[in-house]
Amino acid sequence: MSRRPSSSLLISTYNAPLQLELVLRSALAQTTLPDEILIADDGSTDETRTLVETIKRESPIPLIHVWHEDKGFRKSIILNKAISKAAGDYLIQVDGDCILHPALIQDHLRFAHVGYYQFGTRIRIPQKMVPELLQKKCIHFGCRSPYPKKTIRLIRFPNVTLLQKPVKFGVKKFRGCNASFWKSDIQAINGYNEAMEGWGCEDSELIIRLQNKGIKGRRLRYCGLVYHMDHPTACKKATSDNQLIEQQAIENKLVTCTLGLNQYL
């Protein structure tokens, strides 16, 4: 594109205010700021609300807290609610436990192109190192940093992305913790499938329907970096039901879902 699209950064969270503070501070330390930040909060307690209000007073851009009552893992629903309030043409999505590289927004916007979604690189910070990281409130990582698991992946070389071909259908490398899409494309497929409750597959099912619509994927290799603060895995009891919904999207070449974003627009 010849001009930079307006952008909305979506951050999903649930009762992790210490992690969210680092994510928000890294978002506000970007070389290219998004036009707004939306917190998709799946029912956190007042501690998270207080944090967001504190950061909001410091933020040079709008910071919008989208919250609903805690009724279990309902990430698809809260993301749809946040997307419905997003003013940007381009949506950049991260999780509330992923610290942003200073050039994350810049990288996603640089390669934004009509007909594509994108996903970046996730660098893991081992769980045993996270308490020290939180205590020091560290949001910047150099090649000598003791935190990331694979320091080679700290190297940012965005020109490599120029050589990447569109990814194949059903790519296993995609993660919703570091992704971006055109809002118009997400609206066209009716957003996240709210029939999927509980942990797992909500992001990959969304991508399957995007690809069924003809939207191609671009992997941002060696750029578009986030640093994931490892933690115990969420309960996966709903995964089998969600996998069935995902399989239906594949077999029936579904583009939209019945229960989704349109009810909030």
The DSSP annotation for 30-74 comes to -SS--SEEEEEESS--HHHHHHHHHHHHH-SS-EEEEE----S--
- Percentages (nearest 5) of helix, strand, coil residues in the chain: 35, 20, 45
Counting residues of the chain whose pLDDT is more than 90, the rounded percentage is: 74
> Quick one: pLDDT at residue 135?
95
> Quick one: pLDDT at residue 174?
72
> Quick one: pLDDT at residue 21?
98
> Quick one: pLDDT at residue 176?
83
Residue 41 pLDDT greater than 90, yes or no = yes
How far is the C-alpha of 213 from the C-alpha of 198, rounded, in Å? Answer: 26
- How many domains would you assign to the chain? 1
In a domain, 1, yes or no: no
Of the pLDDT bands very low, low, confident and very high (cuts 50, 70, 90), residue 193 is very high
Of the pLDDT bands very low, low, confident and very high (cuts 50, 70, 90), residue 211 is very high
In a domain, 164, yes or no: yes
All residues at 6 or more sequence positions from 170 whose CB lies less than 8 Å from its CB, including other chains: 208, 211, 250
User: Of 209, 156, 151, 164, which is closest to residue 31 (Cα–Cα)?
Assistant: 156
Among 53-57, 235-239, 251-255, the least confident range: 235-239
> Quick one: pLDDT at residue 1?
43
Question: In the predicted model, what is the mean pLDDT of residues 58-67?
Answer: 98
What predicted TM-score, i.e. pTM, was given to this entire model? 0.92
Of the pLDDT bands very low, low, confident and very high (cuts 50, 70, 90), residue 51 is very high
> Quick one: pLDDT at residue 148?
58
Among 41-50, 169-178, 192-201, the least confident range: 169-178
Q: Residue 192 has which token pair? A: 């996240």
Please report, for residues 78, 133, 257, the alpha-carbon distance to residue 99 in angstroms, rounded to integers and kept in the order given: 21, 11, 31
Sign of the C-alpha dihedral computed for residues 131, 76, 226 and 36 taken in this order: negative
User: 117 - beta bridge partners?
Assistant: 217
Contact present, 229 and 148 (Cβ < 8 Å): no
Question: In the predicted model, what is the mean pLDDT of residues 141-163?
Answer: 59
Give tens-digit pLDDT for 226-244. 999 998 876 555 578 999 9
> Quick one: pLDDT at residue 152?
47
> Quick one: pLDDT at residue 141?
82
All residues at 6 or more sequence positions from 55 whose CB lies less than 8 Å from its CB, including other chains: 21, 24, 25, 28, 63
In a domain, 11, yes or no: yes
In terms of C-beta density within 10 A (0-12 exposed, 13-18 middle, 19 or more buried), how is residue 195 classed? middle
Residue 104 pLDDT greater than 80, yes or no = yes
> Quick one: pLDDT at residue 234?
61
CATH of the domain at 260: 3.90.550.10
> Quick one: pLDDT at residue 205?
95
In a domain, 2, yes or no: no
Q: Return mean pLDDT, the chain.
A: 89
In a domain, 252, yes or no: yes
What residues make up the domain containing 138? 7-264
